[in-house]
A and B are shown apart, each in its own frame.
Chain A
């Protein structure tokens, strides 16, 4: 009952296309990730699903309720955490939480056990104004406020953007716990490494095209070419040389190595070794690796 069903949703802002006939089916209690770069229409999709924006065409339902006809009921049943911190900075932590509880006709005490795990972490600062909290604390408070009315579906728009790596991991641990309570969660992120923590993900591309929808494992498996990580002493010239190499299909810089696919790998891999030696690269290592989400994403683009 608490799923989200999206059918052929499109939205344009003037001549800019934000979403192009997106269709997604998110099941009851699923932790679903929307992965895509800035400008892929993630926020637009959230705003449509939370009844803040009307789509140009297409239809969608949240908890079986139509986003256009039943907007009042939907607002009672969803929690939304916008990408930008939008709580009252001049109210304290506690005041914000009790304010949002009261506009939903409930109290902190009524739903305390749902937010307890998160709230205890910010409770020492409950008399501090929200504007004076650190980035990670703000996210936790925003999550509490989005949860305080016990929503069935939670929409989180880039909740971890601008949050330090440790807090990001903590945040995803919290989402796991919420999922276990049966809450359907739709979360967007520009970080590919967070995708693996979702049940299923949708890869969105710039101008709002959906590339594929699958489990993170499924998406990784769909990468059907062998992938190599190449390292050498001079990494930047190496990237240029690899791209110039005639057998190269694609090559991208990935942190400490370059990820490479070849046109015909069996033959080219041996040839590449000597090619790089010839070009004067030292400490060359080439190893076969498993594709990550980001590799799939780049590959599909």
Chain B
């Protein structure tokens, strides 16, 4: 135990003295937390709208006004035929076309929407926004004309009433930061001792390998929890976001989750002999884990095989947990299933690390 203390003391000394490491550990995550939630905003604004108004009636004018007043669209093209409108899309002057047929006011006949789907998100969201505006326009008209328009649909967004993207990006980004610290930095740190040859000098001392490896993992476990604290603080100060549920649940999950990721880092360090190898392997896993975590795209919209793959992605579970605790206020009792899975990852990755190190 005394040896472990000396080793950890040495580790912190080295991290503190490194010109680069403290910055990469604290500055970069915090910057990410300040920049990413704004950049990764999926709300679409300023969609260029082309209008083909063949009716030129009061109703068509009212519809166009309603669309523009929503704030999502700006009118960039007015054409007198569909072909003309299409050329506006080709020239990139319009992202989406709204065609109002000549007998719109008289018969309330069918409108048509055409969207440029080169940017799928923009096309999809744009036509969805437009449809919902038209839908509500229909209701208004129906009321005036006292024509029954069938049942109307209203939706309420539970737990995140304003559909604020930041509210569910921020907890996810915190999870990603913990994964980098636990997985990549711990791997790089051990491999750097291999590269510099210092591990050789340690190996001839009576320090058991387990103690040496623990001395590498514990600092990153501690740093991970400190970062979690800092991240939560930023979430609260900058985004006004505090968990509806309890911090205790979050820290308990984070503690186990970090053990899982340091285990992954350890495995990577066992199979790599240079820092660039370790870096590459760590990033391979982290990028796949991140893209398939549900942080950017919902898992439910992935193809079925991809959804199965995400079952092996630890980031996915912790992001779910963070979002549930932060937004929904889930209690530990609601999350025991997740807790069990995160524990399994911790055991699995560390078992892998032990096997990888035994082989050497």
- A contact residues vs B (CB 8 Å cutoff): 50-52, 72, 75-76, 78, 80, 82, 84-91, 95, 99-100, 102-105, 129, 145
Contact = CB atoms under 8 A, between A and B. Distances in A.
Given A102-B3, A103-B6, A86 B196 contact: yes
Interface in B233-249: none
B7 interface: yes
Interface of B: 2-3, 6-7, 10, 13-14, 17-18, 196-198, 200-207
Nearest to B197: A86
B197 A91 contact: no
Counting chain A CB atoms within 10 Å of each CB, the highest count among B2, B18, B203, B204 belongs to: B204
A99 B8 CA distance: 11
Contacts of B198: 86-88
A52 B6 contact: no
Given A103-B3, A105-B3, A90 B17 contact: yes
Given A80-B201, A102-B3, A103-B3, A88 B206 contact: no
Contacts, number: 59
B197 A84 contact: yes
Nearest to A73: B206
A72 B207 CA distance: 9
A75 B208 CA distance: 11
B3 A82 contact: no
Nearest to B203: A52
B194 to A, nearest CB: 11
Contact of A50 (B6, B17, B197, B204): B204
Given A85-B197, A103-B7, 6 more contacts: A86-B196, A88-B198, A89-B196, A90-B13, A100-B201, A103-B206
A46 to B, nearest CB: 10
Contacts of A88: 10, 14, 198
22 contacts: A52-B200, A52-B203, A52-B204, A72-B206, A75-B206, A80-B201, A80-B204, A82-B200, A82-B201, A84-B197, A85-B197, A86-B197, A87-B198, A87-B201, A91-B10, A95-B10, A99-B10, A103-B3, A103-B207, A105-B2, A105-B3, A145-B201
Contacts of A99: 6, 10
Contacts of B200: 52, 82, 84, 86
B205 A75 contact: yes
Contact of B197 (A72, A76, A82, A90): A82
Nearest to A75: B206
A126 to B, nearest CB: 15
Contacts of A82: 197, 200-201
Nearest to A81: B201
Q: Which 10 A-B pairs have the closest CB atoms?
A: A86-B197, A80-B204, A102-B6, A86-B201, A103-B205, A84-B197, A75-B206, A90-B17, A86-B198, A50-B204
Contact of B18 (A51, A87, A90, A95): A90
A59 B18 CA distance: 43
B188 to A, nearest CB: 15
B13 A91 contact: yes
A51 B13 contact: no
B13 A76 contact: no
